Structure 1
Amino acid sequence: MPAASQAAAPKVAFKIPTTGLKAALVTFAIQAKVSISTGAAANCRPTGNPLVGRFNLSDGLTRLLAGTGCSFRIIDPQTIEIVRAPPRTQPLHPPQARVSPPDTAPVLVNELVVTATKRTASAGRLPYSVSVISGETIEGADARGASEIALMSPAVTVTNLGPGRNKIFIRGLSDGPLTGRAQSMVSVQLDDVRLTYNAPDPDLRLVDVERVEILRGPQGSLYGAGSMGGVFRIVTKAPDLEQSAGWLFTSAATTQGGDASSVVEGMVNMPLIGGRLAVRAVAYKETDGGYIDDVGLAVTNVNHSVRKGWRVQARARLTDNWRLDAGLTDQRNDSDDTQYAQGGLEPFTRANQVREPHDNDFTQAFVSLDGRFDWGRLKWTSALVRHEVISRYDASRALPAITGGAVGAAALDDDNRIESVIHELTLTSPDTSKVDWLAGLFVAQGEQDVRLLLSASPSGPGSVVYDETRIDKQDELAIYGELTWPLSRSLDFTFGGRVARTRIAAQAVVLSPAPGARATFSGKLADTRWAPKAVLAFHPTARTLFYLQAAEGYRSGGFNTSGANGQVFGGPGSGPRPYRKFEGDELWSYEAGAKTSWLEGRLVARAALFQAKWVNVQADEFLGVGLPYTDNLGRGRNMGLELEAIYVTGRLHLGAQLTLNDPERTWAAAEAAGPSDGPLDGVPRFSGGVEIHYEHPLKDGLTSAFDARYAYVGPSRLTFHAVAAPSMGDYGAGRAAAALYTDRWRVSVFVDNPANSRGDTFAYGNPFAQGATRQITPQRPITVGMGLELRF
């Protein structure tokens, strides 16, 4: 970059204390929102200089690196390479004029910061299978939820029952499409707080987020139960202590054959008390127009939904080395109906007797203390999470079986209220330490209150034919740690593990039919687990990494209580399924991976080959009358290959990803659902996608941008019943968008599903009608919209 241009470059507010050089460079990258290659920093002075004030990139890096033996080269306004400084006997040249020696580290343009490993690291240099989707990419692609992120990340699958009803799967590890007593396969995190236990994904709108991080494979050593498939982590943008900022965005869209959709959202950031305190607030409302018609109820576009919420965060700089963060998040996701259709009718049509509304309300409050000592870093987070999921299903088909002959309209109301208090403490090694270590303590207390109420004639006075009230209490205590030891200059060994103790107490009262038979249940269980992990990482050059990993994930067991009058619960060797108690399951994953880059880091490729072995598979199933239970189905395994490539040059970004799975159940428990050689459900054997982003400067500060992506989801089956289960998948999903923008405004137009594909994204909608009618969840028809953003 010419010196004159650099002198005129915009200045950024920096607040970087004296710390390790690599940590200081990562902090610089975060605050300046640039990519920095830090490979050469390993051969320089281990500590950087403090940097406080407003500087452009060149001046800031010059001050930060002075006397460290390192210098830098600015490739473009978003890409910087750290290099060894030339000997002092050589003439000094402007940093941008230096040429990197052949043995220096390349510029890794994908070297985004990751903290999902509970310490700051570069995604490109981690010996794990991890994807990072930046906030800029999320905004450009309008990927506002987990479903859109799944189309951009290898090995991620999201069901499509409807907003606030979905489950996330990673690496072909699916425990079924239903949400019941089994704990989630994927740990969904908001910053440093776990959001779900066994509820569906709250589907938080991805507004004003820094990035989304996805760790693939079991993460039991760091995250404990409920992370067998991996971790889906949302990192929000922190309050800016130096600069006031804000923006407003609105959009409108129309769907073929459906109602209009709209979005209104905004953000404001306010520094207070001389750069020591700042508050950042976000609010939004998203309306999705319906496109499914219910001919049975004579209602069109029934699946109208509204997602609205807000988030407030505060950050206080207590000292140069300590900060305090606090925040509150609230989201209400209200759907008028589900979004499945029925086979044998016109497309996008079904015939129900009862509407099926759904609410998913989520609230989280947290406080976090983060600081550094000479011997390391401490972080303490405490949070309160409240999650309420209310669903109604048309249970008319189940009424005769439950009542012994009555027919007519009936509805099952499922009211699920979850509250948990979570505390976590982590201690990590200082940035200057040659041995990287981490130690943690996790404590959680939770209560889940469930009410299942099945009523005849739900729109009138009606009568209760099934009534279950259940209370579950869960206590979790865990200690965990990891240690990375450099065996040589290019070989590292990491070993870690987690010891966890989980206690569950369940109480249930069942009336079926009221005021007839009454059944009560009370049970307790305790589960102690040890989840280890081992990683061997070999980095022969700064641009190449190979690794081997073995890791374990697990889930605890629980109890079944649902069942109509006369329901019998068995046990191993003492009766039919469902068993009263279902056991915990565990999964071992073995992975070999490689990451490399070419063309000075502009082209980056990643590959991972893995095998997962799953023992005592838990899955949520439904009884013949449509009520839920959880079963241990036997053993399963998945072998797979993940490939990902990214090419970035100037203003062009190209990406491609491919996932191959071979998920199978290898052994079926006695009388469990499905054959022993069927596929694991809900996960395609093949999926992949491509994406492109291009920007072109025009004049007077005006820039044009173009985004497009296409993803293919291969065929799969809904459940373990390989023969009888309906098939789904085998469809493509696309989006194209174009924009004009300046520093102050942005105008965009977009087309979703431009091919107007009608693929079946999820062959499920109502458990009471499953098997009786063919259920289809079609893609939203072609949708065209326009957006306007203003920044201030």
Structure 2
Amino acid sequence: MRQYFNSAAQAVLAIATAMTMTAPAWAAEAQAPQTAEEPAQVGEIVVTARKRAERLQDAPLSVTAFSEADLQQGGVRDFKDVIGKTPGVSFSGAELGQSRYSIRGVSTTSPSPTVGIYLDDVSLLTTTSAFSGAADPVFFDFSRVEVLKGPQGTLYGGSAMGGAIKYVSHPPVLDERSVDLAAGLSTTAHGGTSYQGEAVFNLPVVEDRLAIRGGLIYREDAGYVDNVAGAPVVDVRTSTTPAPTLTPLVRPSMSTRSAKDQNSSTVVGVKLSALWEPDPTLQITPSAFHQVYRQKNTGVFWTNLPGLQSSFRIAQPTRDELGVYTLTAVKSLNGVDLTWLTGYVDRSVQFDRDYSFYIATLVPSLFGFTSPNASDSDTETFSQEIRAASSDPSARLRWTAGLYYARQRNELDQTVQTLGVGPVLGTGTDTVYHGNTVSRLTQYAAFADLTYEILPNLDATLALRYFKIEQSIDTTGDGVLNGGSTRGSARTKEDGFNPKFELAYKAGADSLLYASAAKGFRPGGGNPFAVAPSLCQADLAALGLSSVPVAFQSDKLWTYELGSKNQFLDRRLTLNGALFYTDWRNIQQNVFLPSCGFSFNGNLGAAEIKGAELAFQLEFIDGLTVSGAASYTDAKISETSPGVSAKAGQPVLDTPKWIANAAVAYRFPIWGDGAATAKLDYQHHGSSLRAFEDSYMVATPAGPVAAPNATQRQEAYDVVNLNLQLDYGRWRYDLFVNNLLDADPLLDHNVVSGMEAAVTLRPRTVGLSVRTRF
């Protein structure tokens, strides 16, 4: 039953991205202690992509980083608000907590993600489903966000095969007593008014020994989709006339709900951390982050209705609660830094949806009945990492080695009722489907990353991770739409190695060349639904199957990359580029069975991905900066296999060939001691394939026929943003217009429930925020 985010102008010069440009760099600040031989200048971003601090331009891999100032500018709320500034990165699922991110074409509809998500080096990955996607922490007191491109399996483990997204919290500061306050107000076209407020404090408790840091954020985002009563439903999967002329069936929705701006939402986030230094060689940091997201109704609208409207019969709220709790200890000892990292992640998603029209596509006679769907997903993950790393950045041999353990339990419980249908069917119950899936995963790993200076300015890196993964899945299903009572279970075990090889040549103080080859891996597992074979017989036969596979296999890839990072004109010009090629085998893919409403995970064959990225940043005159970046990705299915719908030669899903951005920023003095920064940025997202199926079946008076799938492709779209920032000492004012041209692309466009439905970007939003520090 599955359906499917302040120095003056010289600061600009120092900020550069690896392979793609960062977000606004003129306001960025150094974010961490620098351990490379050349110290970071004020305004430069320091990253920990390789689990050691280094200047962004010195890291021999493709990384895009957003500083704390970047994350506080222009009304950004979560990762999807900066994704347009990161070429090579795309997503599906526009709502918070429902996203599926992909990097450089490593994209599938399988529930196992291809991009690792981390908060302070603790994995936030869970088994995604039609009812939960990637965890999306709201941007709140982060020192930076790093986007790592290419396989990151050696240091970050399985499922980071396409790359990783790292959220880095602002740590407590021992010698700083401060309170940061912020408030914001904005209005959205076709919608209402949004509000945001946050407060963060840093308090030394024991001089040079103990400090605590905590904060609270509250955000209320206005909705912009209206629900109207009694609107017509255009069922494109049912025709009132035989082929070749297909006339979609039109009938009243039978909805009595009228709700304006129904998709409003709130986010509440709380954080608390401490830093204890018993002596100068030991740091102990416990931390807690808790976030609760509530959306009153889904943002799905029907494309047959004017504007952004739907006509659902019942409310469709979502509640997504995320807790991340960590304990980190770092001990410096005789040239070695020892790190102990314990993490516990708890995520709960409650997801209510109107399945009335979806059920009617399976059983047309049930159109007059209302069918609520309630799906609850709970995930608990415990992880432990112990690692040691050399602390001398000038040594010929620099190394990191460690051990990792994680245990995760996930439970999905789903109930679909068709109200009043019990007496009609003679079942004595309105529950037409109930399913429960419990999955468990345990993984062990040992890893090492060794870098050796084989010649002056020439480094060679060898990294290796050994992993062992054990999984189990137990499923039960019942109800007339399940074909009666069913049970299923699967047990899988896998182990193997993820290597990485790299050469990096420092041609000069501001020029770096590198080449790398890295393996990525994603574990297989059991399928989450116990499906009666007779129920989906026609769909299975069309795929050459007699039953739903009990399990699916792991997939693997190799990525080869050649890159260059350069700064010229006394660092007034930054120019970075990369070429990459990926050979992806045994790709995991979700396969939907339309006649019975179930889906399963299969392995579709192989894909080849070829691409290039180029980015520049130039200060023409003092205060005037122009930047831009573009990525080209040619990702195609090269081999297919029985049991899946993909065809050789088709593009990989959700992968635009072109993603690009450009920005112009000008910083200038204003009255008093103030300074202003005006910025215009443009983002282009190319078209992409949304589904492998080029047709869907339409019921006609003469029998079912195939009709072209008008929702198969995601069309290209462009977004323009404006921002004016005013700085007056400890006060900062931020005026912004996001989505200036009110772009409204049809995202996640589908006909799963008969009618054409989609979501879109937040319409044009005009706002003001104020920040201050005491």
Shorter chain as denominator, the TM-score bin is 0.7 to 0.9
Amino acid at match of 2:124: L
| Superposition TM-score, scaled by structure 2 size | 0.84
**CA separation in 1, counterparts of 2:351 and 2:597?**
14
Count matched residues. Answer: 691
Contact map agreement 1:403 1:513 (CA 8 A) in 2? no
Q: Find the partner of 1:352 among 312, 331, 341.
A: 312
- 1:453 matched to 2:415: yes
Task: State which of 556, 567, 572 in structure 2 corresponds to 1:602.
Answer: 572
Q: Report the equivalent of 1:507.
A: 474
Report if aligned partners of 1:35, 1:79 keep a CA contact under 8 Å in 2: no
DSSP-derived class of the 2:692 partner: coil
Mind listing any 5+ residue stretches in structure 1 that lack a counterpart? Answer: 1-5, 7-30, 43-71, 73-77, 81-108
Which secondary structure does the structure 2 equivalent of 1:397 belong to? helix
Shift of 1:480: 0.7
Structure 2 residue 413 is the aligned partner of structure 1 residue 442: no
Deviation digits for residues 341-360 of structure 1, max 9, x if unmatched?
A: 22222121223334332222
Question: Which protein has greater RCO, CA pairs closer than 8 Å, 6+ apart?
Answer: 2
Do structure 1's residue 379 and structure 2's residue 339 form an aligned pair?
yes
For 1:125, the equivalent position in structure 2 comes to 58
Which is worse superposed, 574-583 or 353-362?
A: 574-583
Distance 2:448 2:34 in 1: 28
User: In 2, Cα distance between the equivalents of 1:755 and 1:398?
Assistant: 34
Structure 1's 754 and 514: CA in aligned 2 closer, same or farther, altered over 3 A? closer
Q: TM-score, normalised by structure 1?
A: 0.82
Which residue is equivalent to 1:195?
124
Change (3 A) 1:244 1:693: farther
- Per the alignment, residue 412 of structure 1 pairs with 373
The structural deviation recorded for 1:514 is: 9.0
> Using the alignment, how far apart are the partners of 1:454 and 1:35 within structure 2?
50
Q: Which amino acid aligns with 1:587?
A: L
- 1:591/1:459 CA distance change after superposition, 3 Å: farther
Alignment RMSD: 2.8
Aligned to 1:777: 759
Residue 686 (1) aligns with residue 658 (2): yes
Residue 148 (structure 1) aligns with: 81
Counterpart residue identity of residue 322, structure 2:
F
1:405 deviates by 4.8
Asked whether the equivalents of residues 155 and 465 of structure 2 are also in contact (C-alpha less than 8 Å), the reply is yes
Give the distance between the partners of 1:633 and 1:252, measured in 2 at CA: 47
Task: Report % sequence identity.
Answer: 24
1:208 maps to amino acid: D
1:139 aligned partner? 72
In structure 1, distance between residues paired with 2:179 and 2:117: 28
Residues 79 and 480 of structure 1, relative CA distance in 2, 3 Å threshold: closer
Decide whether the 8 Å contact of 2:531 with 2:548 is kept in 1: no
Q: Distance in 1 between matches of 2:35 and 2:376?
A: 51
Q: Which letter does structure 1 place at the counterpart of 2:770? A: L
* Residues 495/410 of structure 1: CA separation in 2 closer, same or farther (3 Å cut): same
Partner of 2:721: 735
Aligned residue number for residue 642 of structure 1: 613
1:515 shift after superposition: 11
C-alpha distance in structure 1 between counterparts of 2:654 and 2:306, whole Å: 25
1:790 is aligned to 2:719? no
The yes-or-no answer on 1:283 pairing with 2:216 is yes
Residue aligned with 2:631, SS: strand
1:475 pairs, out of 438, 442, 446, with: 442
| 1:562-581 correspondence runs (5 A) | 562=529, 565=532, 566-567=534-535, 575-576=545-546, 578-581=548-551
Residue 637 of structure 1 and its aligned partner are, at CA, apart by 2.0
- How far apart, in 2, do the equivalents of 1:372 and 1:246 lie? 31
Change (3 A) 1:34 1:358: closer
The structure 1 residue matched to 2:492, chosen from 519, 522, 525, is 525
2:527 corresponding residue in structure 1: 560
Which whole-Å CA distance do the structure 1 matches of 2:174 and 2:767 have between them?
35
Is contact 2:29-2:69 (8 Å) kept?
A: no
| Paired residue type of 2:115 | V
Q: How does 1:174-189 map to 2 (within 5 A)?
A: 174-176=107-109, 182-189=111-118
Which residue number in structure 2 is paired with residue 726 of structure 1?
Answer: 712
- Relative to 1, partners in 2 of residues 1:120 and 1:515: Cα closer, same or farther, differing over 3 Å? closer
Aligned to 1:616: 586
Q: Is the Cα–Cα contact under 8 Å of residues 739 and 765 in structure 2 kept in the other structure? A: yes
Which residue number corresponds to residue 714 of structure 1? 686
Shift of 1:484: 1.0
The Cα offsets for residues 486-507 of structure 1, whole Å up to 9 and x where unpaired, read as 1211221111111100000111
Query: Which residue in 1 is equivalent to 2:353?
Result: 393
In 1, the alpha carbon distance for the partners of 2:191 and 2:421 equals 26
Pairing 1:631–2:564 present: no
1:748 to 717, 729, 734: 734
What does 1:36-435 correspond to in 2, within 5 Å? 41=37, 79=41, 111-176=44-109, 182-199=111-128, 200-295=133-228, 296=255, 297-400=257-360, 405-407=365-367, 408-431=369-392, 432-435=394-397
Deviates more, 1:494-503 or 1:752-761: 752-761
Question: Quick one: distance in 2 between partners of 1:755 and 1:154?
Answer: 21
The separation in 2 between residues aligned to 1:533 and 1:561, in whole angstroms, is 33
* Separation (CA, whole Å) in 1 of partners of 2:772 and 2:510: 40
